[in-house]
Structure 1
Amino acid sequence: MTLKHLRAVIAWGGLATLIMIPIAVAANSEYLQYRGPIYIAAGFAGIVALAVLLVQPLLAAGLLPRLPIQLGRVVHRWSGLVLLLAIAAHVVGLWITSPPDMIDALTFRAPTLFSVFGVVGMWALLAAALLAAIRKKRWLRPQVWRFSHVFAASAIVAASVSHAMLIEGTMGALSKAALCAAVLCALIWTVWQVKPWRGVRRRQNSRR
């Protein structure tokens, strides 16, 4: 096995570990015995969404080893759909189990801060999805579109990580913290590699 192959195995193994451990911890949590099946499904949908956020920026920027960038971008679009469906299942499941709490959360009247971050993350996700949908329409210049999409993605990650860290739920504290830290690092690394502000700045300077 060459060094390049070894690095790829370590990278993919690390990703799988970061994703599977929180899911395994949540599946064996004592909190599950006090919850109904719909609430449990909604909770796991949230965990899946957080896991997808780990790979989304890496796929878009072609930073995953042994995965061609074009294929990575195709997977990025499909995993974006998975992310939307996971958040929809998360919100609908919580709505079914407690409509008043969800109404308070969606109208920013909930007393808990994690609810605010959750709703902000949801709207940021819808904004990113809308930007992805209009990309082929060319209503925005490529540089502006890229900057806007990365900005929305950054808002999604920041709000989602804050939402997850403030909840005392089924995910273990250490595994949740490790996954959230990895999501933040993946975003920061991707933004640094892509540098979406370069095209926007270059165009602004050319107008002066």
Structure 2
Amino acid sequence: MSRIHSTLIWIVLAVVLAVPIFAAAASPLLAWRDPIYITAGFAGIFAMALMLVQPLLAGGYLPGLPALRGRSVHRWTGAVLVAAVVVHVGGLWITSPPDVIDALLFRSPTPFSAWGVIAMGALFLAALLAALRRRLRLRPRTWRFAHTSLVLVAAVGSVVHALLIEGTMETVSKVALCLLVLAAAVKVAADLRVWSLRQRRDP
């Protein structure tokens, strides 16, 4: 791959990630929100952006990052993703504890809340599984199946959660980001042959 081609890929990725954030920053709805709520909201948008980056790193699709190095960055980015979700939920808890409790107990009247909780739970389980991988001594195929399955649940849940919310995110950029998150997750799962009956050798 040429240097120009590699540079273009990084530029396109940067634009795809930046546009939804800047579009949300220009939303007139921010004028009616307090700083903690705004921080929580943008933490959620940042988390969605990282959910696009994560499968690209895991699959070795980003130029300039060899597969092994990309997976190393993938682990650190995963930690940042979990932290962003914690900030997102924590900020919402500070602004309105009853709403967060209702969401966590699946009794919220807003459908997007349940999808958000499902996505959060799957994401935390995927991260926990990654942290305990060596202790659990899982076979590579078992690990890949479990981790990727949880990540796909988190991706689908996050996308539905985001699409159902009518908030600060601009509609077109939000839909585009959501579709890319799903496409990247499915692409990596297919390329890694997660559900293949044949054993895949790790590099």
Q: Which residue of 1 aligns with 2:123?
A: 125
Q: Which residue of 2 is the match for residue 23 of structure 1?
A: 21
CA distance in 1: counterparts of 2:198 and 2:136, whole angstroms: 19
- Inter-partner Cα distance in structure 2 for 1:9 and 1:163: 32
Residue 83 (structure 2) aligns with: 85
Query: Helix, strand or coil for the counterpart of 2:63?
Result: coil
RMSD after superposition = 1.2
| Matches of 1:153 and 1:162, distance apart in 2 | 14
Deviation at 1:101, TM superposition (A): 0.5
Using the alignment, how far apart are the partners of 2:5 and 2:192 within structure 1?
22
Query: Which structure features the higher share of helix residues?
Result: 1
Question: By how many angstroms is 1:188 displaced?
Answer: 1.4
> Which of residues 172, 186, 189 in structure 1 aligns to 2:187?
189
Number of equivalenced pairs: 199
Q: TM-score normalised to the size of structure 1?
A: 0.92
Q: Distance in 2 between matches of 1:138 and 1:131?
A: 9
Superposition pairs of residues 37-76 of structure 1, within 5 angstroms: 37-76=35-74
Gaps in structure 2 of 5+ consecutive residues: none
Q: CA deviation at 1:87?
A: 0.2
Question: Which residue pairs with 2:158 in the alignment?
Answer: 160
State the structure with more CA Rg. 1
Aligned to 1:116: 114
Amino-acid identity (%): 52
What is the CA–CA distance in structure 2 between the aligned matches of 1:120 and 1:89, rounded to whole Å?
Answer: 17
- Alpha-carbon distance in structure 2 between the residues aligned to 1:5 and 1:188: 27
Per the alignment, residue 93 of structure 2 pairs with 95
Give, in whole Å, the separation in 1 of the partners of 2:107 and 2:140: 37
- The list of structure 1 runs, each at least 4 consecutive aligned residues, that deviate by more than 6 angstroms after superposition, is none
The gaps in structure 1 that reach 5 residues or longer are 204-208
In structure 2, what residue type is equivalent to 1:6?
A: I
- Rounded to whole Å, the distance in 2 between the matches of 1:202 and 1:13 is 37
Rounded to whole Å, the distance in 2 between the matches of 1:138 and 1:123 is: 20
Report the TM-score when normalising by structure 2: 0.95
Distance 2:117 2:149 in 1: 17
- Which residue number in structure 1 is paired with residue 12 of structure 2? 14
